A = this chain, B = another copy of it.
Amino acid sequence: MNASTPSAALAPEDVNALMERLGQAARRAATTMAAASTATKNAALLALAAAIRAQAGPLQEANARDIAAAEAAGLAAPMVDRLRLTPKVIEQMAEGCEQVAALPDPIGEMTNLRRRPTGITVGQMRVPLGVFGMIYESRPNVTIDAASLAIKSGNAAILRGGSEAAHSNAALAALVGQALAQAGLPAEAVQQVPTTDRAAVGRLIAMPAYVDVIIPRGGKGLIERISREATVPVIKHLDGNCHTYVDAEVDLALAVAVTDNAKTQKYSPCNATESLLVHTAVAPAFLPAIGAVFAAKGVEMRCGPRAKAILGAAALPGAKLVDATEADWAEEYLAPVISIKLVDSLDEAIAHINRYGSHHTDAILTTNHPNAMRFLREVDSASVMVNASTRFADGFEYGLGAEIGISTDKFHARGPVGLEGLTSMKWIVLGQGEGRS
């Protein structure tokens, strides 16, 4: 392994020259990647899987340097753990490459070819976007996620991992370059920015000549800053303030089970339910039942006045009942906390979700078909669900096979983004010498 040690701070002109060089190399490599056959791309992915397994030792040595630096810097233990390339994480990275190799190749798909009255045949062909930039924090395995999706989708990528994982990322990127070269593809198709200088990020997000889209993964602060400063499109994932709405007509046992899963199966993911809306007609029967579950699991309930009255009257042992403030309706807790509100109608539920939600994932629990259909149509979120846990909003659960990120935007890709989100559809015209009249 010949991964060079990443440099820290550079002179501004050096950052510009470096990023210009990376950009040019990526753009050149993107042309070759776009034309690469499925077999060649899969060969690179399988070579990468093999290299990750074969080089587990050197990878862990590079990783040990990051871990030591993180511990010396006094990073909290859970943060240090996220950095760690354990044997399990290494095997998962290798398997991930094999899974991406097994996915169908999205590139070259031709659709909707139709003959026009003029004689020409018009349709669309799926092609790579070109070059994507990815900015991420902490976990070094994201380097392999991004590299494998770039290879399969025929794109080039410029990766900028967190400084705390710099040695691990450099070692992984070196393996990616070798696997690409081994398959006869340009090693520059996936490049790791070889400096932790923050000015490099500023350049990466402002090179429209070389970078077609930026995908940030990390905290909300990072994503907001990048969205604000980028001069190229950003596939961004902001809050997940997800709602579960329990309709007037509902299977009560189903409603309790699904709401429980949506809130408590895991507290930290973006698709966990943060706010529970309950129709007044069903609240007296439903709220004490779900309240008992939340009380047993230690979930704090931030309630509107009518919900609090019902839950209070139920006198549930251990229940943590708190008065909700206006801010609670818009809050993403990512914790054992849920806001609860009664609504008098489906209209009120939809209006509340569209106003306070983050357009991520929202579910209705109902047995009423027209209400289910109205909720699907009218809730303006990336994922809308009927009688299912919001926790299902995920590229793997949706069958995408891989996920480069989740988009809370409406433009281009929405919700979980798989390989197709890294492609565009161009128009193709097949003629026999037609001219326009």
Task: Spell out A's residues near B (CB within 8 Å).
Answer: 31, 34-35, 108, 114, 116, 118, 120, 122, 125, 127, 129-130, 212-213, 228, 231, 233, 251, 254, 257-258, 260-262, 265, 354, 363, 374, 376-378, 380-389, 391-393, 397-399, 409-412, 414-416, 424-437
Whether the Cβ atoms of B35 and A426 lie closer than 8 Å is no
Contacting residues, chain B, for A429 (C-beta < 8 A): 363, 383-386, 388, 392-393
Whether the Cβ atoms of B118 and A411 lie closer than 8 Å is no
Whether the Cβ atoms of A435 and B261 lie closer than 8 Å is yes
Whether the Cβ atoms of A433 and B254 lie closer than 8 Å is yes
Question: CA A399 – CA B429 in complex, angstroms?
Answer: 12
Partner of A34, one of B378, B389, B393: B378
In the assembled complex, how far is the CB of residue A346 from the closest CB belonging to chain B, in whole angstroms? 12
Whether the Cβ atoms of A424 and B436 lie closer than 8 Å is no
Contacting residues, chain B, for A399 (C-beta < 8 A): 114, 116, 122
Partner of A116, one of B228, B258, B398, B427: B398
Question: CA A7 – CA B303 in complex, angstroms?
Answer: 48
Q: Is the interface of A mostly helix, strand, loop or mixed?
A: mixed
In the assembled complex, how far is the CB of residue A137 from the closest CB belonging to chain B, in whole angstroms? 24
Contacting residues, chain B, for A35 (C-beta < 8 A): 374, 377-378
Partner of A411, one of B34, B129, B261, B382: B129
Known: A377-B108, A388-B430. A122 touches B411 (CB 8 A): no
Question: CA A122 – CA B233 in complex, angstroms?
Answer: 27
Could you name 21 residue pairs across A and B whose Cβ atoms are closer than 8 Å? A34-B378, A116-B398, A122-B392, A125-B376, A130-B380, A251-B433, A258-B435, A260-B435, A261-B435, A262-B435, A265-B435, A265-B437, A384-B426, A387-B431, A387-B432, A388-B431, A389-B434, A391-B436, A393-B427, A393-B429, A414-B426
Partner of A387, one of B397, B425, B427, B433: B433
Residue picked from A385, A410, A429, most chain B C-beta under 10 Å:
A429
Known: A125-B376, A392-B434, A436-B389. A414 touches B425 (CB 8 A): yes
Question: CA A391 – CA B265 in complex, angstroms?
Answer: 57
In the assembled complex, how far is the CB of residue A391 from the closest CB belonging to chain B, in whole angstroms? 4
Partner of A386, one of B127, B415, B426, B431: B431
Known: A129-B411, A382-B426, A414-B427. 20 other contacts (CB 8 A): A31-B378, A120-B392, A127-B380, A130-B410, A213-B411, A233-B233, A251-B433, A258-B434, A265-B437, A383-B428, A385-B428, A385-B431, A386-B429, A387-B431, A391-B435, A397-B436, A398-B427, A412-B412, A414-B424, A415-B427
In the assembled complex, how far is the CB of residue A212 from the closest CB belonging to chain B, in whole angstroms? 6
Question: CA A424 – CA B374 in complex, angstroms?
Answer: 17
Known: A34-B377, A430-B388. A411 touches B424 (CB 8 A): yes
Partner of A31, one of B129, B354, B389, B428: B354
Whether the Cβ atoms of B397 and A118 lie closer than 8 Å is yes
Question: CA A424 – CA B421 in complex, angstroms?
Answer: 13
Whether the Cβ atoms of A430 and B377 lie closer than 8 Å is no
In the assembled complex, how far is the CB of residue A59 from the closest CB belonging to chain B, in whole angstroms? 31
Question: CA A128 – CA B396 in complex, angstroms?
Answer: 26
Instruction: Return the chain B residue nearest A271 by Cβ.
Output: B436
Known: A376-B428, A427-B416, A429-B388. A233 touches B383 (CB 8 A): no
Known: A212-B410, A426-B415. A436 touches B376 (CB 8 A): no
Contacting residues, chain B, for A433 (C-beta < 8 A): 251, 254, 257-258, 387-388
Instruction: Return the chain B residue nearest A398 by Cβ.
Output: B122
Instruction: Return the chain B residue nearest A253 by Cβ.
Output: B433
Contacting residues, chain B, for A380 (C-beta < 8 A): 31, 34, 127, 130
Contacting residues, chain B, for A127 (C-beta < 8 A): 377, 380
In the assembled complex, how far is the CB of residue A127 from the closest CB belonging to chain B, in whole angstroms? 7
Contacting residues, chain B, for A257 (C-beta < 8 A): 433, 435
Instruction: Return the chain B residue nearest A110 by Cβ.
Output: B376
Whether the Cβ atoms of A383 and B116 lie closer than 8 Å is no
Instruction: Return the chain B residue nearest A108 by Cβ.
Output: B377
